C-alpha cells in the first residue's frame, strides 16, 4: 500500500527502541558504584538511590522498566524487613513493574518471601556479573513484552471498532491516549478531550462513540463555539412554535436528537456563563425544556466534549463553572500536538496521500525523501488538520509521480523565499493565521484576539484554509 511504502521511507529518522530505564537502590556507595560500572556499558539508563523513601519518590516522579533493590538498609540489620515492605509498596504502585532483589549470600528464605510479595527474581551478594545481567535482561524483556501486548490489545480494540474513522496512532506519545480510550470507550462515562486545534479531537470522539454500547445510534455533534448566544438554547434544547419571532415551527434540539446516544460538544470553553448553568442542569438531572415550553422532557445522553483551552485556568479566571467542569471530565483525554508525535507523520501523510490521489484521480506514487524530511522538520501549528490540507494541496500541485518538497507549500524559516508582493491576499492571510495559532499554542480564542477577529470569523477562515 502507498501509506506503508511512505512509512518505510521514514526509517531514516532513526526509529529504535529506547534504552531500558533501571532504578537501583542500595545504601552502600561502593555497591552502587560497582553496579554503575557493570550496567552502564550494557546500555541501561540508570538512576541510583540509597533509601526506600528515595525509591518511592523516584517512582512517583519517573517511569522505569525495572528496579534492582537491596533488602537491607539500616546498619547492622539483616532481617530484610525494610526491603520486603518496599517490594510490597512498589507492587501496589505498579503491579507489572519488574523487581529484582539483592540478598546476602545464603539467605534463600528472604528471597522466597520477596518473590511471594511480587519480586520477579533475586540475586545473591556477591553476585556473578553474567547471572545478574541475564536476570535483568530476562525481566526487562518480559516487562516490555507485556506492555507491548497491552498496547496491541488497546490498539486493536480502537482501530478495529466497526465503523470507526481512520485512527492512526503508533507514536509512543499516543499510547496513553489509546489505552484510555480502550478502557473508557465501552462505558457511559462523560469524557473531556483536550488538545490544540487540529489534533483530532473529533476523531477521538467518533471512535469513543463507536466503542460504546450506544454505537447503534448517531453521534450528534455541535460546535458550541460557533453558536451565537441568542440561538444557543434553541440549538441544544429545541423550541416550540411561537417561542420567538422566527420560531415558525417546533424544533427538536440536539439533546433530544442524541437521546439514547452520544452528544459531542466541541469548543466547550466558549459557552457563555449564562448558558453554562442551563447545560449543567441537563447534565445533572437529565431534564430539559424546549424554549417557550413548560413541559419537562427527560433525556439519556452520554456527553463527549472537546476544547483547546485550559479549562482549569478558565475556572480560576471566572469564565467557566467549576461544577460544570467536574460533570464534563469524568475522564480526560489529552491529545499531544503533531510536533510531539512526529513518528506518526509518515503514516498520516501516506493515509491522506492515498485518499486524495484516489479522489482527484492522480497517479501519485509517494513522497520524495526531501518532502518527507521537510514534513518531519516542520512545526505544524495546525496539527493533523494542517497536514491533511497540505497533502491535499500537494496532490493537486504535484507535477510528477512523486510529491516534492516544493509541492507542499510549507513556509518554514528555511523555506521557499517568497515576497508578499508575489502572494495572493488569501495566501498572506493563511500565513498570518498559522503564525497566530503557533504563537498561542493553538488557542483559537487568543489567536482571534491577536488578529482582531471574532472567534466565529477565525473559525470560518481556519476551515477555509484547512489549518
Residues 277 and 226 in one domain: yes
Answer yes or no: do 27 and 95 share one domain.
yes
Q: Please give the DSSP secondary-structure letter assigned to residue 103.
A: E
Let me know whether 296 and 383 are in one domain. Answer: no
Number of domains in the chain: 3
The CATH number covering residue 220 comes to 3.40.50.300
Residue 412 has pLDDT above 80, yes or no: no
- Read off the pLDDT band of 453 (50, 70, 90): confident
The pLDDT value given to residue 420: 47
Q: Tell me, what's the pLDDT at 15?
A: 43
Residue 32's pLDDT is 93
DSSP, residue by residue, 269-316: GGS-HHHHHHHHHHHHHSEEE-BT---EEE---EEEEEESS-HHHHHH
Give the largest Cα separation in the chain, rounded. Answer: 90
Same domain, 298 and 417: no
**pTM for the structure as a whole:** 0.60
Please write the tens of the pLDDT for every residue from 155-181: 555 555 555 556 788 888 888 898 899
Domain boundary among 334, 368, 387: 334
- The number of beta carbons lying within 10 Å of the beta carbon of residue 201 is 26
**For position 447, which CATH number holds?**
1.10.8.60
Average pLDDT over residues 95-103: 88
Cell 477555509 locates to 464
Residue 43: domain span: 21-147
Same-domain check for residues 36 and 131: yes
Tens digits of residue pLDDT in 222-259: 988 777 777 888 888 888 887 777 777 777 889 988 88
What confidence score (pLDDT) does residue 423 get?
55
CA distance 211 to 158: 7
Q: Phi/psi of residue 29, each to 5°?
A: -60, -40
* Pair (307, 385) in one structural domain: no
Beta strand 302-307 with 296-298: parallel, antiparallel or unpaired?
unpaired
Here the contacts of 399-406 (C-beta below 8 Å, separation 24 or greater) are: 401/363, 401/364, 401/365, 402/364, 402/365, 402/366, 402/367, 402/368, 402/371, 403/353, 403/364, 403/366, 403/367, 403/368, 403/371, 404/368, 404/370, 404/371, 405/368, 405/370, 405/371, 405/373, 405/374
CB 455 within 8 A of CB 307: no
Alpha-carbon torsion (169, 170, 176, 180), positive or negative: positive
> pLDDT tens-digit profile of 338-386?
999 998 999 899 989 988 999 988 888 889 988 999 999 898 988 999 9
Choose the final residue of a domain: 334, 353, 370.
334
pLDDT higher than 80, residue 411:
no
CATH number, domain of 74, equals: 3.40.50.2300
Contacts of 77 (CB under 8 A, 6+ apart): none
Q: Are residues 319 and 353 in the same domain?
A: no
pLDDT for the residue 247? 72
Shared domain for 376 and 433, answered yes or no, is yes
Residue 152 inside a domain? The answer is no
pLDDT band at residue 11 using 50, 70 and 90 as cut-offs: very low
* More confidently predicted of 145 and 56: 56
Query: Residues 359, 459: one domain?
Result: yes
For residue 203, give Cα distances in angstroms to 166, 168, 323.
8, 10, 27
Q: 106-110, 224-228, 294-298: which has the highest mean pLDDT?
A: 294-298
Cell numbers representing residue 379 in the block: 512545526
Q: Same structural domain for residues 347 and 280?
A: no
**H/E stretch holding 191:** strand 191-194
Q: Who has greater pLDDT, 346 or 61?
A: 346
DSSP 335: P
- Positive/negative CA dihedral, 204, 205, 206, 208: positive
Amino acid at each position: 500500500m502507498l501509506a506503508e511504502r511512505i512509512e518505510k521511507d521514514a526509517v531514516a529518522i532513526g526509529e529504535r527502541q529506547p534504552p531500558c530505564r533501571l532504578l537501583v537502590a542500595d545504601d552502600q556507595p561502593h555497591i552502587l558504584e560497582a553496579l554503575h560500572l557493570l550496567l552502564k556499558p550494557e546500555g541501561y539508563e540508570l538512576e541510583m538511590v540509597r533509601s526506600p523513601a528515595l525509591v518511592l519518590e523516584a517512582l512517583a516522579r519517573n517511569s522505569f522498566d525495572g528496579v534492582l533493590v537491596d533488602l537491607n538498609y539500616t546498619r547492622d540489620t539483616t532481617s530484610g524487613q525494610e526491603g520486603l515492605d518496599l517490594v510490597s509498596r512498589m507492587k501496589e504502585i505498579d503491579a507489572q513493574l519488574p523487581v529484582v532483589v539483592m540478598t546476602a549470600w545464603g539467605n534463600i528464605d528472604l528471597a522466597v518471601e520477596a518473590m511471594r510479595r511480587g519480586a520477579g527474581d533475586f540475586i545473591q551478594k556477591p553476585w556473578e556479573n553474567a547471572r545478574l545481567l541475564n536476570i535483568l535482561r530476562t525481566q526487562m524483556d518480559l516487562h516490555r513484552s507485556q506492555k507491548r501486548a497491552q498496547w496491541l490489545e488497546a490498539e486493536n480494540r480502537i482501530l478495529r471498532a466497526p465503523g470507526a474513522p481512520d485512527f492512526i496512532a503508533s507514536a509512543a506519545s499516543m499510547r496513553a491516549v489509546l489505552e484510555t480510550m480502550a478502557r473508557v470507550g465501552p462505558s457511559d462515562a462523560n469524557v473531556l478531550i483536550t488538545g490544540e486545534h487540529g489534533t483530532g479531537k473529533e476523531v477521538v470522539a467518533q471512535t469513543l462513540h463507536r466503542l460504546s454500547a450506544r454505537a447503534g445510534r448517531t453521534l450528534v455533534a455541535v460546535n458550541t463555539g460557533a453558536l451565537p448566544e441568542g440561538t444557543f438554547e434553541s440549538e441544544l434544547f429545541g423550541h416550540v412554535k411561537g417561542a420567538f419571532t422566527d420560531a415558525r415551527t417546533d424544533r427538536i434540539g440536539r439533546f433530544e436528537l442524541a437521546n439514547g446516544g452520544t452528544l459531542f460538544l466541541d469548543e466547550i470553553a466558549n459557552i457563555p456563563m449564562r448558558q453554562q448553568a442551563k447545560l449543567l442542569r441537563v447534565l445533572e438531572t437529565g431534564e430539559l425544556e424546549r424554549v417557550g415550553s413548560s413541559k419537562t422532557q427527560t433525556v439519556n445522553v452520554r456527553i463527549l466534549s472537546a476544547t483547546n483551552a485550559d479549562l482549569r485556568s478558565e475556572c480560576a479566571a471566572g469564565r467557566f463553572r467549576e461544577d460544570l467542569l467536574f460533570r464534563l471530565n469524568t475522564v480526560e483525554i489529552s491529545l499531544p500536538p503533531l510536533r510531539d508525535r512526529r513518528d506518526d507523520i509518515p503514516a498520516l501523510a501516506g493515509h491522506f496521500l492515498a485518499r486524495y490521489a484516489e479522489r482527484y484521480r492522480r497517479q501519485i506514487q509517494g513522497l520524495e525523501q526531501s518532502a518527507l524530511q521537510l514534513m518531519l522538520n516542520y512545526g505544524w501549528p495546525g496539527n493533523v488538520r494542517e497536514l491533511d490540507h497540505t497533502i491535499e494541496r500537494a496532490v493537486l500541485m504535484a507535477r510528477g509521480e512523486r510529491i516534492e518538497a516544493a509541492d507542499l507549500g510549507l513556509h518554514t524559516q528555511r523555506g521557499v523565499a517568497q515576497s508578499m508582493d508575489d502572494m495572493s491576499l488569501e495566501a498572506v492571510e493563511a500565513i498570518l493565521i498559522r503564525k497566530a495559532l503557533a504563537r498561542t499554542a493553538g488557542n483559537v480564542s487568543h489567536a482571534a484576539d491577536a488578529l482582531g477577529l471574532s472567534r466565529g470569523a477565525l473559525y470560518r477562515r481556519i476551515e477555509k484554509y484547512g489549518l
